[in-house]
Amino acid sequence: MTVIHVFVKQVPDISTLEYDQSSLAPRLEKATQRLGEIDLVALEAAVRIKESLGGEVVVLSAGSGVSELVLREALAMGADKCFYVSDERLSRADSWVTANVLSRLSRRVGSPDLLLCGEASSDEGNYQLGPRLSEALAIPCVTHAVKVELDGNVARVRRALEDRVETLESALPLIVTASLELATPRLPSLLMIRAASRKPLTRIELSELGLSEELVKPLLERVSARILKTTRRNIVLQGEPRECAEKLVESLASEGVIRA
C-alpha cells in the first residue's frame, strides 16, 4: 500500500489581514486562519495518486495554536488521517525548527513512500521546507514539481525551472515540493465534509518527539514585519492621442521605468 505524507501549514488568510495604522505591523491575531494555498495543491496531488493507485494519505502539521477545524479541511479533501503538533514554542519557529519537528513527526507516524509539501508557505515563502526535510530524513528531494507519477517503486517527476523543464526519476521514498501548476485543489462536497468529522485527527505533544532544545531553537529571529503602503500617482494626461502618448513616455522615462 502506497503511503503518502503531506505537510500542511496553518497561515493567515491575507484577505482578512488588518494592520496597525501607526506601526504598520500586521495584526496576525485578528486574521482568519486557513491552510496554505500551495499546501492544498500538494494535498490534491496526493489524493489523486491515492484515487488512482490506492493507498493512504496522511496529513502532518506543526505550529502554535493549530486549529483542528482548519485541519479538517484537509480531511474533507480526501486525506485519511491527520497528526499535528501544537505548541507555543513553535510561534517563532523558522524553517530549521519546522523541518526538525515535522521530520520527527513523520518518523513517529510511519514510513511513507512519498512525502509532499508546497514549495513555499503562503506566509514566509522561503522555499526551504522540502530541502530541509530531505536533509533531516536522508531522503532525496525534487523541487518545483508540475507533475508526479508513481510506477511501482519509482517516481517520475516533471519540474519547471526558469529556462527549461526537467523530468527526473527516483526510487521511493522521495520528497517532492509542489508548484501551483501541479494540481487544482478540489472543493469538498457536503458529504466529504461530513465524512471528515469521523476521520482520525491526533495531537502529538512536542515533548513526545524527543527533540533536544537545540533542535527547537530557531536560527533566525524576525526583528519586525510591516505593511508596505503604496499610493497611486493619479496623473491625468490631456490632449490629443499622440500628444498624450509623448507625455506618457516622458513621464515613464523621468521615473526610470523605461529608457526614452
Specify the pairing of strand 114-118 against strand 3-8.
parallel
- Burial pattern 117-151, b for ≥16 Cβ within 10 A else e, equals bbbbbbbbeeebbbebbbebbebebbbbbebbebe
If you average pLDDT over residues 202-209, what whole number do you get? Answer: 96
For 180-199, the pLDDT digits (tens) are 999 999 999 999 999 999 99
Q: Is the peptide bond before 185 cis (omega within 30 degrees of 0)?
A: no
Q: What is the CA radius of gyration of the chain?
A: 22
Q: pTM here? A: 0.85
Q: Which three cell numbers stand for residue 203?
A: 495531537
Find cell 485578528 and name the residue.
30
Give the pLDDT confidence score for residue 260 in this predicted structure.
Answer: 63
- Using the predicted structure, report yes or no on whether residue 84 has a pLDDT greater than 80: yes
- CA-CA distance, 42 to 130, in Å (whole number)? 12
For 224-259, the pLDDT digits (tens) are 777 777 777 788 888 899 999 988 898 888 888 887
Integer CA distances (angstroms), 48 to 40, 93, 189, in order: 12, 31, 16
Integer CA distances (angstroms), 45 to 59, 125, 133, 143, in order: 13, 20, 19, 14
Q: Which domains, from first to last, does the chain contain?
A: 3-216 (3.40.50.620), 230-260 (no CATH)
Give the pLDDT confidence score for residue 222 in this predicted structure.
Answer: 78
- Using the predicted structure, report yes or no on whether residue 41 has a pLDDT greater than 80: yes
- Using the predicted structure, report yes or no on whether residue 175 has a pLDDT greater than 70: yes
Give the pLDDT confidence score for residue 159 in this predicted structure.
Answer: 93
For 57-67, the pLDDT digits (tens) are 999 999 999 99
